[in-house]
Structure 1
Amino acid sequence: MSHDDGYGNDSGRTGDGYSTLGGTRQTRTRLPDGEGGDGYGPRRPPRSSRSLVTVVGVIVLLLAAIAFANLGGGDGDKGGTSGGSGGSKAGAAPTAATGTKPVTGKNGEIAAGFSQDQQGAQSAAANYSVALGSAEMFDKTKRDEILGNVIAPSAVGGFRKTLDQAYSATLFKNLGLNEDGTTPTGFTFISRTTPIGTKVTKSSDEQATVEVWCTGLIGLAGEGSTKPVTDGWFTITMELQWINGDWKAVTHSQKDGPAPVGSDTRASSADEIAGAVNGFGGFTYAR
């Protein structure tokens, strides 16, 4: 759900505003196993937002450093590709409704109580991607709470350490925020990740590896913003483990794309973007 450059096996957001970890893009890295008017104007030129990417790139690197030991998948889907201790590869399947009711449990604002099968693992990965890519990740207290709810106990310490370094005054400055990570008066800071689809690539009874294809928004909305809100496309890979009746993330990595051809839709004003983000809430993702 690296920033500045580190979030999972590839954890970490790069200078790219899009890395699950609150706007930090990632490149794979592994931590030791032991670390448990028109406000924006017309369409922006091809990736002029790379400056933002550079900022987020830093996050990505750190997030990447958060990647932990590879763990297999957890697929309790008895008709699926459950495997032995090593897990077996699962074939790709379209992200379609299964008829199973969404989870009803919650850890803070994050969905919880996912089923011990491939569907549950995909739902967990999708919801965790949203949480790890949210604006709340820029607040130390909220970030620690999110990590405690979605990361495996054995890995949460490493994630917190890496992300505390990633979410630095330098990163905040590059994103147009105040040195303490707060939003300047008169602006709205936006960091939101939206899953497009999920895919299980490996699974066993206790572990699962899930890829989540996402699009995201990051930037400052407001009159005169020098860091306007831009969009991005990326794929998050999350290794999950079944712990105490729910799925928890052990590693997290991110890579760019697949990205579609940009449309000719007129870029909205800063006020429109801020209003949309504040007016439209997020979802609980379940298949």
Structure 2
Amino acid sequence: MSPDDDGYGNDSGRSNDGYSTLGGTRQTRTRLPDSQGGDGYGPRRPARNSRSLFTVLGVVILLLAAIAFANMGGGGGDNGGDGARGSDAKRPGSAPTAATGTKPVTGKNGSIPSGYAHDEQGAQSAAANYSVALGSADMFDKSRRRAIASAVYAPAVASARQGALDKVYSGEDFLANIGLNADGTAPAGQTFISRSNPVGTKVEKFNGDTASVSVWYSALFGLAGEGSKNPVSESWFTNTFALTWTNGDWKVTDFTQKDGPAPVGRDQAASPAGEMADAVEQFGGFTYAR
């Protein structure tokens, strides 16, 4: 949902088939019933209790050791690159997604969290929350869109971004292609859904007052309702935000979007349109923080 030059392309950064999903299949293994003899399979051998007991104990011990290791923070500190976790421990940009214990968001700018910490954690939190705001259905309402742009973008670029966003999101062809009315509202009897759900963040660069942060997220997009020609589908994207520390907070100066990484879809049946619309209205979003 971003223009080609400004992160919000007319095709929303999606593939030509913006509403396609990946289908997945699962193979099942059938266990034959225990034989009572005479059917060619023979009876199942009795379980070896002592061996099973040692196996269970071994697994429990390994789990306890792993938990203790994690609670100690890896034990090896900066020198743990060749320890139990191997080379993955120092993989550039990677970090655990567990809470750090520091509260990075202290306020709100309208409906958007603000007041991020002036460090890498704060930059990641800002990028995640800004991806949610920029991917929301509010971007299709003129007044809300301008409020989002003012809250998310640095003052030096906010005005230019507002004009570019207005041009894209008010385009009749763009709105018609996604099934919305000329004013950006959904047709009668249908619910428009646009929601970004961050999965993780990664610091690409950090230089004190500037940062580059990538956000990997899934996106729900489409119209829920009987007769919808654009049913709600899921897509996966990665946005990379250029951030600058401005007036005591992180602000966006630019961002790019690319497809994926996308997982293989499972063989779950799609929910009815009414159930999907109810879910989005009843389940609120999160404030994201590291």
> TM-score, normalised on structure 2?
0.72
Task: Go from structure 1 to structure 2 and tell me whether the alpha carbon gap of 1:271 and 1:116 turns closer, same or farther (over 3 Å shift).
Answer: same
How far did residue 123 of structure 1 move?
0.1
How far did residue 124 of structure 1 move?
0.2
Matched with 2:186 is 183
Query: Which deviates further from its counterpart, 118-127 or 156-165?
Result: 156-165
How far did residue 94 of structure 1 move?
2.9
2:222 equivalent among 219, 229, 251 = 219
How far did residue 234 of structure 1 move?
0.4
> TM-score, normalised on structure 1?
0.73
| 1:25 aligned onto 2:18 | no
Task: Go from structure 1 to structure 2 and tell me whether the alpha carbon gap of 1:6 and 1:265 turns closer, same or farther (over 3 Å shift).
Answer: farther
C-alpha distance in 2 between matches for 1:138 and 1:5: 17
How far did residue 52 of structure 1 move?
4.8
Matched with 1:192 is 195
How far did residue 179 of structure 1 move?
1.2
C-alpha distance in 1 between matches for 2:148 and 2:256: 17
C-alpha distance in 1 between matches for 2:18 and 2:205: 36
Output aligned runs, 1:51-70, within 5 Å.
Answer: 52=19
C-alpha distance in 1 between matches for 2:204 and 2:223: 36
Matched with 1:3 is 2
Matched with 2:157 is 155
| 1:12 aligned onto 2:8 | yes
Structure 2 counterpart of 1:233, one-letter code? W
C-alpha distance in 2 between matches for 1:244 and 1:150: 13
Q: Please say if residues 114 and 120 of structure 1, whose CA atoms lie closer than 8 Å, have aligned partners that are also in contact.
A: yes
2:244 equivalent among 241, 254, 258 = 241
How far did residue 184 of structure 1 move?
1.1
Matched with 2:276 is 273
Matched with 1:109 is 111
- Identity, % of aligned pairs? 55
Q: CA RMSD in A?
A: 2.1
How far did residue 212 of structure 1 move?
0.2
Task: Go from structure 1 to structure 2 and tell me whether the alpha carbon gap of 1:231 and 1:14 turns closer, same or farther (over 3 Å shift).
Answer: farther
Partner of 1:228, secondary structure, is coil
Task: Go from structure 1 to structure 2 and tell me whether the alpha carbon gap of 1:184 and 1:4 turns closer, same or farther (over 3 Å shift).
Answer: farther
Task: Go from structure 1 to structure 2 and tell me whether the alpha carbon gap of 1:212 and 1:51 turns closer, same or farther (over 3 Å shift).
Answer: closer
Partner of 1:50, secondary structure, is coil
Structure 2 counterpart of 1:144, one-letter code? R
C-alpha distance in 2 between matches for 1:282 and 1:161: 27
Q: State the Cα deviation string for residues 54-84 of structure 1 (Å, max 9, x = none).
A: xxxxxxxxxxxxxxxxxxxxxxxxxx9xxxx
Q: Please say if residues 6 and 25 of structure 1, whose CA atoms lie closer than 8 Å, have aligned partners that are also in contact.
A: no
Structure 2 counterpart of 1:103, one-letter code? V
Matched with 1:92 is 94
Matched with 1:133 is 135
Aligned pairs, number = 221
Matched with 2:35 is none
Structure 2 counterpart of 1:215, one-letter code? S
2:261 equivalent among 258, 262, 271 = 258
Q: State the Cα deviation string for residues 203-256 of structure 1 (Å, max 9, x = none).
A: 011001000000001101001111100110000000100001100000011000
Partner of 2:275, secondary structure, is helix
Query: Which deviates further from its counterpart, 101-110 or 232-241?
Result: 101-110
How far did residue 4 of structure 1 move?
4.7
C-alpha distance in 1 between matches for 2:4 and 2:283: 29
Partner of 2:199, secondary structure, is strand
Partner of 1:185, secondary structure, is coil
Partner of 2:195, secondary structure, is strand
Matched with 1:207 is 210
Q: Please say if residues 198 and 218 of structure 2, whose CA atoms lie closer than 8 Å, have aligned partners that are also in contact.
A: yes
Task: Go from structure 1 to structure 2 and tell me whether the alpha carbon gap of 1:205 and 1:51 turns closer, same or farther (over 3 Å shift).
Answer: closer
Structure 2 counterpart of 1:224, one-letter code? G
C-alpha distance in 2 between matches for 1:201 and 1:236: 12
C-alpha distance in 2 between matches for 1:100 and 1:145: 28
The structure whose Rg is larger is 2
> Gapped runs of 5+ residues in structure 2?
21-77, 79-91
More helix by share: 2
Partner of 2:223, secondary structure, is strand
Query: Which deviates further from its counterpart, 126-135 or 160-169?
Result: 160-169
